[in-house]
Amino acid sequence: MNHLPIVKLKPAFHNEKEVVQLIFNKNDELNNLLRANTGMRWSKTMNCWYLPFYKTITQDLFMLVKPNFYLDYSDLKVHQESLVLKKETEKETITKPTDILQELSEESIHKIEEFKLWLNSKRYSTSTIETYTDALKTFLRYYAHKPISEITNDDLIIFNNHYIMANHFSASYQNQVVNAVKLFFNKIENKKLNPELVHRPKRTKLLPNVLSKEEVKLILNSLKNLKHKTMLSLIYSCGLRRGELLNLKTTDIDSKRNMIIIRQGKGRKDRIAPLSAKILEILRNYYSDYKPTVWLFEGEQQGEKYSEQSLQSVLKQALEKAKINKPVSLHWLRHSFATHLLENGTDLRYIQEILGHNSSRTTEIYTHVSTKSILQIKSPFDDL
C-alpha cells in the first residue's frame, strides 16, 4: 500500500481555459516545491495550485514530485478518455448547447461594456471591475444562445449547478459570479434576479495565521537592509495591508502627532494608526539614508513606487535567514499585530479602528487565536 502523500490531478475550467488542479492535504514541503516551479500558478478562486492543460502534463508532474509524493491522475485520465471518445463519435447530442461556453453575442459585448462603464462611474476599484466583468462574461457566454432579456432566475440556478458546481469552483468564485450577475441585471437591465434562490455552499471559516512575538522579532532582525527592515516593521507595527504600505507617501507620516495616515485603504476609506517611538526612530533613519521623494518606499528609480513582487521577495529572504519554515505571507504580520494588541489588553473597538474594519465581527475573529485567556484555563487532566 502506498504511504506517500497523495497529489490528486483534477481537470477544471479556469478563466475560460482548461486547466489541471493539484489537490492535496496541507504540506509545506510540497507547497515550497510548487512555488519554486515557474510554470505553477496559485488560484484564490479555486484555492489550489494549477497548470494550464497540455499533452505531457502528467509525465512532467510525475517527474516534478517523485519520489516523495504519489501522483493520482485517475480523474484526469478519465477526462482525457472522454474527450477522445467525444471527438471520435462527433455527435452533437453528447453536449447540450448550454453545457459549454460559446462566443459572446454582439448584444453581450455591448452590455458588458455598458456594465463596465457603470462600474467605473461608481468608482469601483480596478480589481473589482475586472472581477465582475470577467464573471459576467462567463455567465453570458454560457447563455450566448439566449437573448439577455429572456434570462431568468432559473437560468442563474442552472448555471450555478451545471457550470460552477460541476467544475468544483470555490464558494468565493460562486459568490463573485452571483453578485456580478445580480448587479448587472439590477442596474443595466432594470430587472431583479433573486440570488437567495441559488444554493451557495457555506464559506470555510479559517482562523487567521498568527506568528509569535519571538518569530516576528526573528524575521525583522534577520534583515540588514534598512529599507527592507523599515517596510516589514511598519506593516507589523501599524497592522498595514501590503497595498497600504506601498501607497504611502512621505507626507502621510505625521511625526509631530505620532501617527500615520492610511489613505483610501480597503473600501476607499482613510484612517489613522499610531506610530510608536521605536518605529519613528527607524523611519527617521530610513528617511535620512534614502531620501524618498514621492512614495515613502520607492523602487530603483526615484519617484517610482516599490513593487509588490519585490516586497514579497523581501519577506521570503527574511524567512530563509530567520529559518522559519511556515508559509508566512505579508498578511500574517497584520494578523499578528492585531492578535498581539488583543493579548496586551487593547480594546477590540480600538483594534477595529486601527485595522479599518467596517464591522466589529471581523475584528472579533482575533479573539479565537489569542492565547492570553486560553492559557489561563487549567485542564482537568492536571487534577488526576
Q: Report the distance separating Cα 93 and Cα 10, nearest Å.
A: 25
Catalytic residue (one of 168, 187, 266, 321): 266
For the chain, what is the radius of gyration of the CA atoms? 25
Catalytic residue (one of 162, 227, 249, 331): 331
Burial (0-12, 13-18, 19+ Cβ within 10 Å), 301: exposed
Q: Side chain identity at 187, as an amino acid letter?
A: K
Strand 259-262 with 253-254, pairing: antiparallel
Catalytic residue (one of 137, 228, 229, 241): 241
For the beta carbon of residue 180, count every other beta carbon within 10 angstroms.
22
Q: Is 137 known to be catalytic?
A: no
* Cα distances (angstroms) measured from residue 138 to each of 12, 76, 134, 220: 14, 23, 6, 44
Comparing CA positions, the residue from 195, 210, 199, 218 lying closest to residue 323 is: 218
* SS3 label, residue 70: strand
The set of residues, in sequence order, having a beta carbon less than 8 Å from that of 81 and lying 6+ positions away, is: none
Q: Is 266 known to be catalytic?
A: yes
Cell of 344: 496586551
What phi and psi values does residue 50 have, to the nearest 5 degrees?
A: -155, 165
Q: Is 366 known to be catalytic?
A: yes
The answer to whether the CB of 192 falls within 8 A of the CB of 185 is: yes
Q: Is 241 known to be catalytic?
A: yes
Burial (0-12, 13-18, 19+ Cβ within 10 Å), 292: middle
Q: Report the distance separating Cα 238 and Cα 279, nearest Å.
A: 9
Q: Report the distance separating Cα 114 and Cα 11, nearest Å.
A: 34
Comparing CA positions, the residue from 159, 148, 153, 135 lying closest to residue 106 is: 148
Give the DSSP H/E element, type plus range, for residue 315: helix 308-322
Q: Report the distance separating Cα 331 and Cα 254, nearest Å.
A: 24
Catalytic residue (one of 242, 271, 334, 340): 334
Residues marked as catalytic:
241, 266, 331, 334, 357, 366
